[in-house]
Chains A and B, each alone.
Chain A
Amino acid sequence: MTKVVLPELGEGIEKATVSYWFLKAGDHVNEKEDLVELATDKATFNLPSPCSGVISEVLFQEGDAVNIGQVLATIDETQ
């Protein structure tokens, strides 16, 4: 299972808000495909999938605040 982690977005940025999920749990995703969009300050940031597989779990919903380093979703690469 691969964890999708919110990466560093810049100095002093500790959290971001989930603004849009391009896919949902159960969907197949390809590596580098847009997975989720985060909003912080006056910017949105598209996070691509780190691998190909099936999204097994989505841990934050649109509107939720996420800290840098937290897991947003898990992807099952075996499927």
Chain B
Amino acid sequence: MDLEVFDLGLIDFGSAWQFQKDTLARVCNSDIRGALIICSHYPAITLGRLARIDNVLIAASGLDERKIPLYEIERGGDVTYHGPGQLTVYPVFNLNYFIKDIRIFLRQLEALVIDLLSDFGISGTRYPGLTGVWVEKAKIASIGIAIKRWVTYHGLSINITKDDLGNFSLIRPCGMDIRMTSLESVLGRPINKEILKRGLICRFKEKFSDIFR
């Protein structure tokens, strides 16, 4: 069964969230094994289920001025920022066809990002207890998921451009004092987003070949 891929392009968070939930319902209620949603968002801040609001460092009026909406959503993890300088990926996968294990799924997502980074000559790493992918001490990819009937949704964001990192200063990402980095910051040159997307889809098919034969 092939992996269905939806490239939503640059889209507001709310519309993509609804598309995710529609896709989740479709996967939960059918024999579709999963779908991969790829997009980038206009600036938005999202709060995971156990997020602390004081990890948003800017007042609501400041967000209004910047036209940055705030969403309280059902994924795990604390607060994060989404923007057009990221590639955001939502794997809506039925883990009944894979392994019903939250940690194995999270580690698989990290491994996939590390492999993808290596295609660009970047050495990504992970740290025990800190979900996500890092380049030295800076975070390049953030992960937060939700699972319903062992079907996953929400997912991961990879920072691509350097100029979109500034908005992370509006929050304490994941409730921690961490430095963020991006592919372009590490490489010192622009990268082709379409090549990154193609590589990402290949890596998903490879890492989840048990689901998508």
Contact = CB atoms under 8 A, between A and B. Distances in A.
Interface of A: 9-13, 17, 19-20, 32, 34, 37, 39-46, 48
A42 B145 contact: yes
Contact of A46 (B101, B102, B149): B149
Interface residues of B, number: 23
Interface string B88-108: 000000000000111111100
A34 B25 CA distance: 13
A46 B147 CA distance: 6
Contacts of A9: 101-102
Contacts of B49: 19-20, 37, 39, 44
B178 interface: no
Q: Which 5 A-B pairs have the closest CB atoms?
A: A10-B101, A43-B76, A42-B131, A10-B102, A10-B103
A43 to B, nearest CB: 4
Contacts of B146: 43-46
A42 B106 contact: yes
Given A10-B103, A39-B50, 16 more contacts: A10-B105, A13-B102, A19-B50, A40-B102, A41-B103, A42-B77, A42-B106, A42-B131, A42-B143, A42-B144, A43-B105, A43-B144, A43-B146, A44-B146, A45-B147, A46-B146
Contacts of A44: 48-49, 74-76, 145-147
B148 interface: yes
A15 to B, nearest CB: 12
B188 to A, nearest CB: 30
Contacts of B74: 20, 37, 44
